[in-house]
Structure 1
Amino acid sequence: MITLQCLLEFQSEEDRRKVLDLMRRFSSAERYGYRRLLEGWPREELKKHLAQIFQVNTRYADDAVLKASAVLSSCRKRGQNPTKVVFGGRGLFEKLKKKHLNGPRREELEREWREKRQGNLYSRGDKRKQGNLNLRFVWIKGELYLRINVGRREWVYARVVRPAKREKDKWIGFVWDLYKAERSGEWFPYDVELKLKNGEVYAHVSVDEEFPPAVITLENGVIGIDVNAYPFHLALAEVSPDGNLVGHERISLHELLSADRDKREYLAWQVAYQVVSLALGKGKAIAMEDLEKVPKGRRGDGFPKLRQKLQRWAYRSVLEKIEVLARRHGVAVEKRDPAFTSVIGKFKYAPQYLVDKDVAGALVIGRRALGFEEKLPEAYRCLLRDEEFLLYALAELEEKVKKLKRELKGEENEWRKKAIKAKLKATRGELKTLRAHLRALQSGEGEPASRQPADRWKEPVRGRLSGWRIKAWRVLSAALTVPVLEKFSHVKGTVRDFSPLRPVLVSGDWERAARRSVPVPSAGAAVQECS
């Protein structure tokens, strides 16, 4: 989606007044509609209600509901409280609450607040309605105008002021497409949103971008991307067509944390250029997580609050830019469900290749894009049938529960208490999972004998993880995380070293892994770095 901006020049003050009044009513309808959506009103009923109250046509009313729905959906995805949304911007709202602020500065803020609250008008595109029904671009005597529907069979025509800024300005292409559509009658949809800023009315036009056909496909492998909140970075894994790890790289995103909005956008584009340049140099497609399917703050890295905060803006913005830039350069982009990629990566591939869990997660995403299905290694299968190990793991988990209870009892700080309670809840969940598995094993209700015991690590199988495989990975995570990994974690707050699992993965020697108390010095250096 490309968004272009142009200034509107009205023919008279009366025309300008009519448009501003419409923008005010539409903005009110959007805010009113948002509150009704929180109450559970259905869209069709709300649309008719808004049209009647705010005296706008039903299409404007429906677009107001659409905008309100987008705000509500975005708020929920970011983990924010929908009832706390402030239309016009919380930053401005907090500044205006300060009683000591007065004079020209306060007047300027109040003007900006009114413009953001009342200066909005939106109309979605429709190919059947010559591109847009309510806000339509038309040609009059060789000049481009925006026709604005301000009432029943009443329109205002505003001249479009938008000089081309450079030779490859996308505005030139958009105007040419409008000219061709006018001549041929083959229209394309474009969304138009009017915004009031510094007393001027601007039109923001959004059209779908046409990408060239992909010339770099999955045939040569992929660059898998995993997004991580701790440390705050992108992990890249170069995956060969047969599903093996060829190289890996890490791109830090810490600069984005302290940057303002404009600089953050610039830095995000720089990160996107780095990733796409790597893909072009290696001749590989790009595989990334489908963030629509990621429950924020539940990726199991020990920092759900931090992940939730950062993913509100950073990850989605960076990945969207990578996708757009890659498609512009003819690089195929595959988006996959990230479910269990971190768990599979850290238990199966981190000890195998001696890399961290982030690179291992990126490898799993890349393999999933290539069509590989992850099976539980045979050594882990045997481990989950070993009652001696399961009883040991249960004892370790029970001991951790007791320890957390003692910490909770002696802790006076309320915030630390909440953190301990969260850990206690998670540990109890793992304990419950492991107990259920042990009971099923002792009663003879384990994995069906018809399952193939061999683990074909590189076998290309299409499809998603089946239910019994998901359950097996959950049990494995509960059995190994606390009893083996967290027991000797050398990084406070999270486990980064998965080398203790290598003897378990290779030979099933869990006793050796449980006794080991120091990290492998060369962990993470076994695979050549991407240039």
Structure 2
Amino acid sequence: MKATLRCLLYNPSNEDFELISDMMNHFCKAKHFAYKRLEENRFTEGFKIHELSKSVSENYGLNSRQSKDAVEQARQTMISQVQLLNLRITEYEGKVEKLLKKFDKGVKLEQRHGLITKLNKRLRKLCTYLTHKTNNTLPSVIFGGKENFYNRCKGTISKEDYQLRRNNQFVSRGDKTKKGNPNLRIVIKDTNIYLEITTLESTKMDSRLKFDGSFTKSKITYKKILTPIYIPQKLSKKTGKINGFNYKDKLLMQVVNENSYQVELLLRDGKIYAHVTFELEKTEVTNTCHNFIIGIDTNPDGLALTMIDNKGNYKWHYYLKNTELLTASSTRRVNLCGELAKSVVWASKTYGCGIAVEDLEFINDKDVHSKIARKTSQFCYRLILTMIESACYKNGVEFIKVKAQYTSKIGLYKYCHQYGMDVHNGAAMVIARRSYGFKEKVPKLYKGFFKPIPIIKDGKLTYTNTTYSNEWSNWSNVSARFKMILQKDCYPGFVIKNRKDIRDMILA
């Protein structure tokens, strides 16, 4: 697993600042040039990336390694654009399909105009993306961000300011054979930490005559500058010890051992930041899932924890709730997610067990109400799961991901009433059991849902079989029958509260 430290170049001289800004300007322009060439020759036979790197090096005055880094950044941008194009097509196809289903069911007269307008808008977007897909093209990329581009179009920012915001990056990939990093290298001198930067200023050494009559190759040497770099480290005010994980020592250990690390320079608000990415050594796993495991269900307002043993039996459940997640700012939300991950790992280490989570992946393929849209848009499930996985990796806790299909439905219909917990903790129990490989059979109470249904087909009375060999198909059938029986009342609170009445309805 990789970690990124946000460092700062403090008190660089005016000359060094100008050199670094010039490097960023050349690098970003080289990246934009490389992206355009890669996009044009995406399906061209015989196109070679190393020839593009040579062209970038000649046109923008970068050394061979810097030009390769610029081309790689452009290539990664193009890969992400291809993935985003396929994702957008999937999302808008789903939105159009959902809107057409609404029209099939019937729409009120006062809602018809708004839905038609929305459908036309979705169809225009879908046609645009499908045209790109058909013509093997990609949507245009605005380097520097749309907001800055629109501000420049309105004239609210100057051309120089826009260029400064657009060309504010320099990336150097790590290389173990080059003492960690060839162009942006962290150097330790007399307990002080510096960043050694290879600039674009170069001097050419002419070839020299050897004793045997031959000539040496001419060499180009680049000017290097040393700038102090601040690596953050938070100390406790009470004890003076480090709070949390000691990232600084881990990074310096990588530097001393000359392991590879990537450095990205960013110019923001007149300051130069250095984002250093390096590989973390894996901690030995001491808290395993051999005896117990904690299943975690992720929700917009917190985490549901349910612990079981290795035989699938229930032990306890708890809900880590924090409603501030729904309204907090982005930076505050990151901190809250970190606190939740810390609590989860603490519970795991207390009981000496592993953690199982659901492998979530949401697709924005339908239009929902504004209140639901606000909740789902602020549902930082990926951030929470990433932080939990990172905390487990660093603290030696076994981490397992399972598929999330029907976990909430199975937990609601099978475990909530039995153990007196809500639907989220029921889903967490299903996640924990699924990590052990247990199958969730449909209880006998719901066997009435699997009676053959009489259907008249081609003038003949036939019976359809509703029992499937697949576990998820059976639970899908149970969920569909519940919706058919309860109609608008098919929500978790009603099902748990009126379970006996629903049972009588099933048996009837």
Shift in alpha-carbon separation, 1:328–1:91, aligned structure 2, 3 A: same
* Structure-2 residue corresponding to 1:161: 228
Q: Work out the CA distance in 1 between the residues paired with 2:497 and 2:462.
A: 26
* Structure-1 residue corresponding to 2:391: 325
Are the aligned partners of 1:29 and 1:50 in contact in 2 as well (CA < 8 Å)? no
1:321 aligned counterpart, secondary structure: helix
Are the aligned partners of 2:297 and 2:424 in contact in 1 as well (CA < 8 Å)? yes
Within the candidate set 185, 203, 206, 1:136 is matched to 185
Give the Å deviation of 1:161: 1.5
Give the Å deviation of 1:205: 0.8
Sequence identity percentage: 26
Are the aligned partners of 1:222 and 1:241 in contact in 2 as well (CA < 8 Å)? yes
* Structure-2 residue corresponding to 1:20: 21
Within the candidate set 40, 52, 56, 2:55 is matched to 52
Give the Å deviation of 1:69: 5.1
Q: Work out the CA distance in 1 between the residues paired with 2:41 and 2:443.
A: 48
Q: Work out the CA distance in 1 between the residues paired with 2:314 and 2:32.
A: 50
Per-residue CA deviations over 1:176-201 (Å, capped at 9, x if unaligned) read: 4422x2xxxxx422111111133343
- Larger CA Rg, structure 1 vs 2: 2
* Structure-1 residue corresponding to 2:505: 512
* Structure-1 residue corresponding to 2:5: 4
* Structure-1 residue corresponding to 2:175: 126
Per-residue CA deviations over 1:29-64 (Å, capped at 9, x if unaligned) read: 555666788889379867755763564545213431
* Structure-2 residue corresponding to 1:407: none
User: Match for 2:450: what amino acid?
Assistant: L
Are the aligned partners of 2:451 and 2:466 in contact in 1 as well (CA < 8 Å)? no
1:41 aligned counterpart, secondary structure: coil
Within the candidate set 404, 413, 416, 1:350 is matched to 416
Q: Work out the CA distance in 1 between the residues paired with 2:186 and 2:141.
A: 33
Per-residue CA deviations over 1:218-254 (Å, capped at 9, x if unaligned) read: 133122111124xx33222222332233222223343
Q: Work out the CA distance in 2 between the residues paired with 1:47 and 1:310.
A: 42
Residue 316 in structure 1 maps to residue 382 in structure 2: yes
User: Match for 1:384: what amino acid?
Assistant: F
Are the aligned partners of 1:486 and 1:495 in contact in 2 as well (CA < 8 Å)? no
Within the candidate set 255, 265, 276, 2:324 is matched to 255
Worse overlay, 28-37 or 263-272: 28-37
* Structure-1 residue corresponding to 2:338: 269
Are the aligned partners of 2:412 and 2:423 in contact in 1 as well (CA < 8 Å)? yes
Q: Work out the CA distance in 1 between the residues paired with 2:22 and 2:12.
A: 16
* Structure-1 residue corresponding to 2:133: none
Per-residue CA deviations over 1:259-294 (Å, capped at 9, x if unaligned) read: 333322222222222222222333332211223xx2
Q: Work out the CA distance in 2 between the residues paired with 1:36 and 1:350.
A: 58
2:494 aligned counterpart, secondary structure: coil
Per-residue CA deviations over 1:278-325 (Å, capped at 9, x if unaligned) read: 22333332211223xx233589x99974564124xx222222222222
Within the candidate set 308, 317, 335, 1:239 is matched to 308
Shift in alpha-carbon separation, 1:387–1:219, aligned structure 2, 3 A: same
Q: Work out the CA distance in 1 between the residues paired with 2:248 and 2:21.
A: 25
* Structure-2 residue corresponding to 1:296: 363
* Structure-2 residue corresponding to 1:63: 72
Are the aligned partners of 1:269 and 1:318 in contact in 2 as well (CA < 8 Å)? yes
Are the aligned partners of 1:223 and 1:236 in contact in 2 as well (CA < 8 Å)? yes
* Structure-2 residue corresponding to 1:400: none
Q: Work out the CA distance in 2 between the residues paired with 1:344 and 1:373.
A: 11
User: Match for 1:369: what amino acid?
Assistant: S
* Structure-2 residue corresponding to 1:423: none
* Structure-2 residue corresponding to 1:203: 274
* Structure-2 residue corresponding to 1:117: 166
For the aligned residues, what is the CA RMSD? 4.5
TM-score for both structures, normalised by structure 1: 0.64
Give the Å deviation of 1:120: 0.6
Residues 487-502 of structure 1 correspond to what in structure 2 (within 5 A)?
Answer: 487-489=488-490, 495-499=492-496, 502=499
Q: Work out the CA distance in 2 between the residues paired with 1:440 and 1:20.
A: 79
Shift in alpha-carbon separation, 1:6–1:363, aligned structure 2, 3 A: same
Shift in alpha-carbon separation, 1:295–1:173, aligned structure 2, 3 A: closer
User: Match for 1:483: what amino acid?
Assistant: M
Shift in alpha-carbon separation, 1:297–1:369, aligned structure 2, 3 A: farther
Are the aligned partners of 2:452 and 2:464 in contact in 1 as well (CA < 8 Å)? no
Shift in alpha-carbon separation, 1:511–1:2, aligned structure 2, 3 A: same
Q: Work out the CA distance in 2 between the residues paired with 1:479 and 1:253.
A: 34
Give the Å deviation of 1:8: 4.2
* Structure-1 residue corresponding to 2:474: 472
Q: Work out the CA distance in 1 between the residues paired with 2:424 and 2:36.
A: 41
Give the Å deviation of 1:345: 2.4
1:238 aligned counterpart, secondary structure: strand
Are the aligned partners of 1:226 and 1:361 in contact in 2 as well (CA < 8 Å)? yes
* Structure-1 residue corresponding to 2:247: 170
Q: State the aligned residue count.
A: 421
Shift in alpha-carbon separation, 1:323–1:195, aligned structure 2, 3 A: same
Q: Work out the CA distance in 1 between the residues paired with 2:332 and 2:196.
A: 32
Give the Å deviation of 1:119: 0.9
Give the Å deviation of 1:384: 1.4
2:222 aligned counterpart, secondary structure: strand
Within the candidate set 432, 450, 463, 1:442 is matched to 463
Shift in alpha-carbon separation, 1:317–1:69, aligned structure 2, 3 A: farther
TM-score for both structures, normalised by structure 2: 0.67
User: Match for 2:415: what amino acid?
Assistant: Y
* Structure-2 residue corresponding to 1:283: 352
